[in-house]
A and B are shown apart, each in its own frame.
Chain A
């Protein structure tokens, strides 16, 4: 690994102490200071200064060297990488230049073909047991993995090989976290999530379509500063960012409570910014940080821009009911034919039992006579 610490590298590039502290602040913010690990108490006791969180981050950046990252793209659209390039705090530029070294990334790297593959192998060897493996896109083990191959090797092979030496795995986006679009019914490629294949490594799922870039940088920063993954929920998503639903933090929530709903995308309700629940918003069951962190540097997020939440950070969201159908609507309902058959069965059974009863009664009367 690099001998130099992050601070030394930044100093070498001519960054001032002020810039370094600013950067530390951004990193501390990205980690999500509401849920610091247990160390917090000890640091608090040791340091009388109130900004102990910042000082902890600063100390880590001063002593630790940059984190090697290998980024795999399997059945993906590169949307998560695209989103990450628009990360605001810290920016991808900051992240790549200062916090991490991206050893392999098909979309971002200048090298291509065998050159790039060789670089990946070399990095995996050099940083064995230390690197973070980021996976974007789902894996396809069906039919021997023929539906997704890179350089003639199946996605399963590539993932297994890279996962073996990883310190931790970050599955970014819904595809690698839960299967995403490729897994949607009828799932022709037999797509699965990383979690379903890799069982022996710590995995953090940064679900979303795409994943919120600041959440990714936050998790990376956490790993760098504390040397561990943040606290995760039952779906392996960091609790700091996936602790609340979109509905909980939604700016349109008061309209929901008041029963004021937009009924179409261009009616008066939509213009007034009313709740989008009736237009199919999945906010109540969707855990993500969109409503609080927002996108594009806190500019907006889908619900704010007038579109209902699709529930993209939840498993199977493509099959979780129509995007514009109310969330309470059933996922499956009987067809008219099925209902007709059920009703006909009711009629047949009813008539049958009634006729049988009458016949029994008649024969009983007959016997009495």
Chain B
């Protein structure tokens, strides 16, 4: 048993199982939420629900991030807003526009795309790690957050933090041999994949549904009973 074997396990059978759990688990969660039921339109809609949903996405992506100060969430705690935003941006850049990750997508989806140079991805990864630590400290000292944080919230942070940190150290060839960190990185990713459907990290999918449903409600322009 050496690190090559661990790596083969983490990149091979464990990854496969983790991905299957992820797919099955996310579908389960989605079905459960959809079957909770929809509220009926009691009053005829004056506007288009589809346009409303569309507008809601555009505002969320193109407008609010650039004028955050008009939002209440920002006024109340700018740190969370900015750190949270940077975290999600960093995660997107690293996972989608990093070369190594694109190759994973390519092997799964069958097609690839252009990626960013390593230094840019690398800085974004560093920023992501730093803001994760900031958000962790914030959660530790903010009295309200402390009250509503259970084990699941701390595990969320840990399970996202581990792949980020192992990936960063691996890219920089620090302290350990490459295959050791590669193994740890893949093990952390596999654990995260299994954890996502069980946790609120599943918001990466539900976000789009709730955004669409809220947008449709806004677009309806009907008097609610």
Q: Is the CB of B100 within 8 A of A258?
A: no
Stretch from B24-32, B123-131, B134-142 at the A interface: B24-32
Q: Is the CB of B107 within 8 A of A329?
A: yes
Q: Is A23 an interface residue, CB under 8 A from the partner?
A: no
Q: Is B173 an interface residue, CB under 8 A from the partner?
A: yes
Smallest Cβ-Cβ distance to A317: which chain B residue = B4
Complex: how many Å from CA A259 to CA B36? 47
Complex: how many Å from CA A63 to CA B20? 66
CB distance from B5 to the nearest CB of A (A): 8
Stretch from B6-14, B76-84, B202-210 at the A interface: B6-14
Q: Is the CB of B115 within 8 A of A259?
A: yes
Stretch from A1-9, A80-88, A162-170, A348-356 at the B interface: A348-356
Q: Is the CB of A285 within 8 A of B182?
A: yes
Complex: how many Å from CA A46 to CA B99? 54
Q: Is the CB of B35 within 8 A of A354?
A: yes
Say whether, besides A259-B99, A259-B115, A346-B23, A329 and B106 are in contact (CB < 8 Å). Answer: yes
Contact of A330 among B21, B25, B107 (CB under 8 A): B107
Residues from 299 to 354 in A contacting B, C-beta threshold 8 Å: 314-316, 319-321, 325-334, 338-339, 342-343, 345-347, 349-351, 353-354
Residues from 143 to 197 in B contacting A, C-beta threshold 8 Å: 173, 178-179, 182
Q: Is the CB of A346 within 8 A of B28?
A: yes
Q: Is A295 an interface residue, CB under 8 A from the partner?
A: no
Say whether, besides A259-B117, A320-B8, A331 and B15 are in contact (CB < 8 Å). Answer: yes
Q: Is A252 an interface residue, CB under 8 A from the partner?
A: no
Q: Is the CB of A333 within 8 A of B107?
A: yes
Q: Is the CB of A346 within 8 A of B20?
A: no
Q: Is A277 an interface residue, CB under 8 A from the partner?
A: yes
Contact of A235 among B2, B26, B116 (CB under 8 A): B2
CB distance from B103 to the nearest CB of A (A): 3
Q: Is B58 an interface residue, CB under 8 A from the partner?
A: no
Contacting residues, chain A, for B21 (C-beta < 8 A): 342
Contacting residues, chain A, for B99 (C-beta < 8 A): 259, 261, 277-278
Residue of B36, B116, B178 ringed by the most chain A CB atoms within 10 A: B178
Q: Is A117 an interface residue, CB under 8 A from the partner?
A: no
Chain A contributes a number of interface residues (CB within 8 A of B) equal to: 43
Q: Is B223 an interface residue, CB under 8 A from the partner?
A: no
Q: Is B75 an interface residue, CB under 8 A from the partner?
A: no
Q: Is the CB of B8 within 8 A of A345?
A: no
Contact of A354 among B31, B115, B179, B182 (CB under 8 A): B31
Contacting residues, chain B, for A316 (C-beta < 8 A): 4, 8
Count A-B pairs with CB separation below 8 Å: 126
Contacting residues, chain B, for A145 (C-beta < 8 A): none
Q: Is B16 an interface residue, CB under 8 A from the partner?
A: yes
Q: Is B104 an interface residue, CB under 8 A from the partner?
A: yes
Complex: how many Å from CA A347 to CA B35? 11
Q: Is B118 an interface residue, CB under 8 A from the partner?
A: yes
Smallest Cβ-Cβ distance to A280: which chain B residue = B103
Complex: how many Å from CA A315 to CA B103? 23
Residues of B contacting A: mostly: helix
Contacting residues, chain A, for B26 (C-beta < 8 A): 346
Q: Is B119 an interface residue, CB under 8 A from the partner?
A: yes
Contacting residues, chain A, for B29 (C-beta < 8 A): 346, 350
Say whether, besides A245-B178, A342-B23, A350-B32, A257 and B118 are in contact (CB < 8 Å). Answer: yes
Q: Is B101 an interface residue, CB under 8 A from the partner?
A: yes
Q: Is the CB of A342 within 8 A of B108?
A: no
Say whether, besides A248-B173, A285-B178, A331-B11, A346 and B24 are in contact (CB < 8 Å). Answer: yes
CB distance from B104 to the nearest CB of A (A): 5
Contacting residues, chain A, for B120 (C-beta < 8 A): 259
Q: Is A234 an interface residue, CB under 8 A from the partner?
A: yes
Q: Is the CB of B23 within 8 A of A339?
A: yes
Say whether, besides A343-B27, A350-B31, A354-B35, A330 and B16 are in contact (CB < 8 Å). Answer: yes
Contacting residues, chain B, for A260 (C-beta < 8 A): 117
Q: Is A147 an interface residue, CB under 8 A from the partner?
A: no
Contacting residues, chain A, for B121 (C-beta < 8 A): 259
Contacting residues, chain B, for A257 (C-beta < 8 A): 117-119
Q: Is B19 an interface residue, CB under 8 A from the partner?
A: yes
17 contacts between A and B (CB under 8 A): A234-B2, A235-B2, A245-B178, A257-B119, A259-B115, A259-B121, A319-B8, A330-B12, A330-B16, A332-B15, A333-B15, A334-B23, A339-B20, A346-B29, A347-B27, A350-B31, A351-B31
**The 10 nearest A-B residue pairs measured at CB:** A350-B31, A346-B27, A259-B117, A326-B103, A329-B107, A342-B24, A354-B35, A346-B28, A328-B100, A331-B12
Task: List A residues at the B interface (Cβ < 8 Å).
Answer: 234-235, 245, 247-248, 256-261, 277-278, 284-285, 314-316, 319-321, 325-334, 338-339, 342-343, 345-347, 349-351, 353-354
Task: List B residues at the A interface (Cβ < 8 Å).
Answer: 2, 4, 7-8, 11-13, 15-16, 19-21, 23-32, 35-36, 99-101, 103-104, 106-108, 115-121, 173, 178-179, 182
List 11 extra interface pairs beyond A316-B4, A332-B12, A345-B27, CB under 8 A. A321-B11, A327-B100, A329-B103, A333-B15, A333-B16, A334-B16, A334-B20, A339-B20, A346-B29, A347-B27, A347-B31
